[in-house]
Homo-oligomer: A and B are copies of this chain.
C-alpha cells in the first residue's frame, strides 16, 4: 500500500482532528499512514513568532476556537481549550517519535490529543505521560527514559529540521510519496486521493 506521511504537532488544534480520523479515512482509501511528530515552535520562531499565531492574532484565535467546536462536533469529538494554550509539546513529541516505529505510536498520539483537547489536560506533565503509556500496556518508565535519551532528543531535532527542509510551515501537513504536500485537516481527503492516484499511475 502507498504511504501518506502525517506530520503533526501536539499543540496544534487541527492536528487533533486529523489524528482522530486519519486511520479510518486512510484504511478506506487503501493507504498506510506514517506518523511524523515534529515541533512547530522552532519553525514559528524563524518567522518571528514567539507564540501560536492564534494568540498573536486574537481575532483569528477567537474564530479558530469556534471553528474547532463546530468541526469537532461534526466528528463526534469533544473540544476543550487547554490552559495555557499552546501547551509545551516537547515531551509527548519525544515519546511519539519513539512510537513512530512501534505499534503503539498511533494509540499514544491519540491518547495525548484526547487528554489535551478532549479533557484540557497539561501534556507537558511527565506523570500524565507515564499514565498514558501504562494505559497502553507499556513499561512506561522505560519508554520515558528512552524518550529523554540524548539520542532520541537529537532525533527529534533532526525530524523538525526535516520538516522545515520540506517546506512545512504548519500542522497538520500531509506528504504523498511523490512529495506532493497538503496542509490542514481540510486537505486530508485530497491528500489520500492524490496518494492513491499517483500510486496507480506509477504501478
- The answer to whether B169 and A57 have CB atoms under 8 Å apart is yes
State whether A70 touches B169 (Cβ < 8 A): no
> 0/1 per residue, A128-154, Cβ < 8 Å to B?
000000000000000000000000000
| A47: interface (CB < 8 Å) | yes
A63/B181 contact (C-beta < 8 A), A47-B57, A57-B47, A57-B169 known: yes
- The proximity string for A residues 39-67 relative to B, scoring 1 for CB distances below 8 Å and 0 otherwise, is 00000000100000000010110110011
Q: Which residues of B contact A92 (CB under 8 A)?
A: none
Q: Interface size on A (CB < 8 Å)?
A: 20
- Tell me if A162 is interfacial: C-beta within 8 Å of chain B: no
Which residues of A from 58 to 116 have beta carbons under 8 Å from B? 59-60, 62-63, 66-67, 70
**Residue contact B47 to A169, C-beta cutoff 8 Å:** no
| Complex-state Cα separation, A62 to B170, whole angstroms | 13
Residues of B near A70 (CB, < 8 A) are 190
Known: A47-B57, A57-B47. A63 touches B186 (CB 8 A): no
Partner of A62, one of B60, B66, B167, B186: B167
Q: Nearest-CB distance from A19 to chain B (Å)?
A: 19
User: Could you tell me which residues of chain A, from 153 to 201, have a CB within 8 Å of some CB in chain B?
Assistant: 167-170, 181-184, 186-187, 190
Report whether B66 and A181 are in contact in the complex, using a CB–CB cutoff of 8 Å: yes
Chain B residue contacts of A187, Cβ below 8 A: 67
- Distance (whole angstroms) from the CB of A169 to the closest CB of chain B: 4
Is A63 touching B190 in the complex (CB atoms < 8 A)? no
**B183 pairs with A67, CB closer than 8 A:** yes
Residues of B with C-beta under 8 A to A182: 67
Q: Is the CB of B47 within 8 A of A167?
A: no
- Residue of chain B at shortest CB distance from A56: B47
Q: How far is the CB of A201 from chain B (nearest CB, A)?
A: 16
Of B167, B186, B190, the contact of A59 (CB 8 Å cutoff) = B167
A162 to chain B, nearest CB (A): 14
